[in-house]
Amino acid sequence: MNVYEEKQAARKARYEARAAAAAAESTERANLSHKMASAIPFGQPVHGPRDRNYRDKIGKQMDKAIKAGRKAAYWQRKAEAVGLGGISSDDPDAVKKLTTKLEKRTKQQDYMKAVNAALRLKDTAKGDARLAALGMGPDEVAARRKPNEFGRIGVFPRWMLSNNSAEIRRIKQRIEDLRKAQEREDEAEDVKTDLYTYRIEDNRVQFIFEGKPEPAVRGILKRYAFRWSPSRGAWVRQATANGIYAAKRVRKELDEMAEIDREVF
């Protein structure tokens, strides 16, 4: 596993641990509630405030058990969702994985076009030979040739080709964007001022301060969608073209603020 995949595995393990802890709490509280309830004979009416308080405690324990059970289900869903969100830009192997995905999509597009072209040939024998060359067996060729309820033979519909073509363009754009981002990161050098350190690292535009920045500075960062990252000790945003542009605006405003402070003091 690469570093990103190791982080994903660690995140999944954390979620699973939280789910297990919540499930254990739910079971423990439910058992306690049942044990407390077993001390009351079935059908016995409430005898005064003390008995009522005891019964309330039973109900509260069961409520907490249900709440913990819901929490366990939540963390289990989070654990199961890790790694299912597609190819992340944070993955150092993202370009490689996207290239593999692009190749599959391109082959699929070429295959669908070739099938459609073969089915539309007036010389069906020649068309069937092309379909066989594409890997179709006689039964599949016959099924493709059989008209549907609308009288159309089994060509791949235009919307399927169009959607796949759009996905191919999207993947190509992501590959280009990631390569440009990597080039920017390779060429980038830390910019240090009296107020902050600016760098591009780990696919993140980062602003680092000595201690907690004052409210006005935090306001500028938040306005441009930068968020505090405890693991990096920096205010960060993904290093996309928009993120780089936003960082330039932040730097401009912070530098102007620092210039004003120098003039005043």
Q: What is the pLDDT of residue 5?
A: 85
Query: For the whole prediction, is pTM greater than 0.85?
Result: no
Residue with tokens 């050098």: 189
Asked if residue 118 belongs to a domain, the reply is: yes
Clarify whether residues 137 and 203 are in a common domain: no
Clarify whether residues 75 and 99 are in a common domain: no
| 82 in Cβ contact with 18 (< 8 Å) | no
Asked if residue 10 belongs to a domain, the reply is: yes
Q: What is the pLDDT of residue 189?
A: 77
Clarify whether residues 203 and 241 are in a common domain: yes
Chain CA centroid to CA 24, Å: 28
Residues 117-156 as b/e (b if ≥16 CB within 10 A, e otherwise) read ebbeeeeeeebbebbeeeebeeeebeebeeeeeeeeebbb
3-class SS of residue 198? strand
Clarify whether residues 57 and 33 are in a common domain: yes
Clarify whether residues 120 and 74 are in a common domain: no
Single residue among 81, 113, 141 that ends a domain in this structure? 81
For the chain, count helices (H), then strands (E).
8, 5
Q: What is the mean pLDDT of the chain?
A: 90
Asked if residue 44 belongs to a domain, the reply is: yes
Clarify whether residues 197 and 238 are in a common domain: yes
Clarify whether residues 16 and 71 are in a common domain: yes
Number of domains in the chain: 3
Structural domain harbouring 13: 3-81
| Nearest alpha carbon to residue 13 among 76, 70, 72, 69 | 76
Asked if residue 89 belongs to a domain, the reply is: no
| Nearest alpha carbon to residue 88 among 186, 2, 199, 165 | 2
Side-chain-side CA neighbours of residue 247 (13 Å): 22
3-class SS of residue 51? helix
Asked if residue 180 belongs to a domain, the reply is: no
Asked if residue 178 belongs to a domain, the reply is: no
Single residue among 102, 137, 170 that ends a domain in this structure? 170
Asked if residue 153 belongs to a domain, the reply is: yes
Asked if residue 176 belongs to a domain, the reply is: no
Clarify whether residues 159 and 196 are in a common domain: no
Single residue among 59, 81, 103 that ends a domain in this structure? 81
Clarify whether residues 131 and 163 are in a common domain: yes
Clarify whether residues 193 and 132 are in a common domain: no
Mean pLDDT of 9-17: 93
Clarify whether residues 103 and 76 are in a common domain: no
- Whether residue 262 has pLDDT greater than 90: no
Residue with tokens 């390569």: 179
Clarify whether residues 37 and 76 are in a common domain: yes
Which residue would you say has higher pLDDT here, 165 or 1? Answer: 165
pLDDT digits (tens, 9 = 90+) for 113-168: 999 999 999 999 999 999 999 999 999 999 999 887 777 888 899 999 999 999 99
Which residue would you say has higher pLDDT here, 24 or 186? Answer: 24
